[in-house]
């Protein structure tokens, strides 16, 4: 199985009012998860282990590390070559300069966090060397 194109993840960060031990309750909520063809299929999300999915079906996480672990798991389970994560705030800033779909993807590359898939893609034995 060859590696597929890039996965894009748009998320929103919220700092809550609840304080425990002097810390604010933070939430990282996935707003949109898509690839070259459009929104991610439900079947692709179902491949991810339940414990990596965050807070239920809402796809909310209490730390950026958990969000990144989830994104990496979706990328690896569905054989994407990379995943780009971007906050809604950075997206809104960058969208003003977009003129086409390619410049929209460039926002993720320029302002987002990129995670490359380091797992072997399978395929032929020659493909692993070249």
Q: List the domain boundaries for the chain.
A: 4-129
The stretches of 1-130 forming alpha helices (DSSP H) are 42-46, 64-77, 88-95, 101-111, 125-129
Position 93 pLDDT exceeds 70: yes
Q: pLDDT tens digit string along 48-71?
A: 866 555 555 678 888 899 999 999
User: What pTM was computed for the model?
Assistant: 0.78
Tell me how far apart the alpha carbons of residues 70 and 29 are, in angstroms, rounded to a whole number. 12
Query: What pLDDT does residue 7 have?
Result: 93
Residue 124: predicted pLDDT = 45
H or E element at residue 114: strand 113-116
68 exposed, middle or buried (CB, 10 Å; 0-12, 13-18, 19+)?
Answer: middle
pLDDT computed for residue 122 by the predictor: 56
Residue-averaged pLDDT of the chain: 81
pLDDT bin (cut points 50, 70, 90) of residue 89 is very high
Q: pLDDT-based confidence at 115, cuts 50/70/90?
A: very high
**Which residues are CB-contacts of 123 (< 8 A; sequence separation ≥ 6)?**
1, 2
């Amino acid at each position: 199985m060859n590696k597929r194109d890039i996965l894009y993840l748009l998320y929103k960060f919220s700092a809550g009012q609840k304080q425990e031990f002097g810390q604010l309750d933070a939430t990282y909520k996935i707003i949109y998860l898509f690839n070259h063809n459009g929104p991610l299929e439900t079947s692709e999300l179902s491949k991810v282990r339940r414990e990596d999915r965050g807070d239920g079906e809402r796809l909310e996480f209490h730390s950026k590390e958990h969000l990144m672990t989830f994104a990496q798991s979706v990328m690896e389970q569905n054989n994407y070559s990379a995943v780009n994560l971007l906050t809604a705030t950075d997206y809104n800033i960058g969208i003003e300069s977009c003129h086409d779909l390619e410049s929209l993807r460039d926002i993720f590359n320029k302002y987002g966090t990129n995670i490359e898939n380091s797992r072997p893609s399978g395929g032929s034995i020659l493909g692993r060397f070249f």
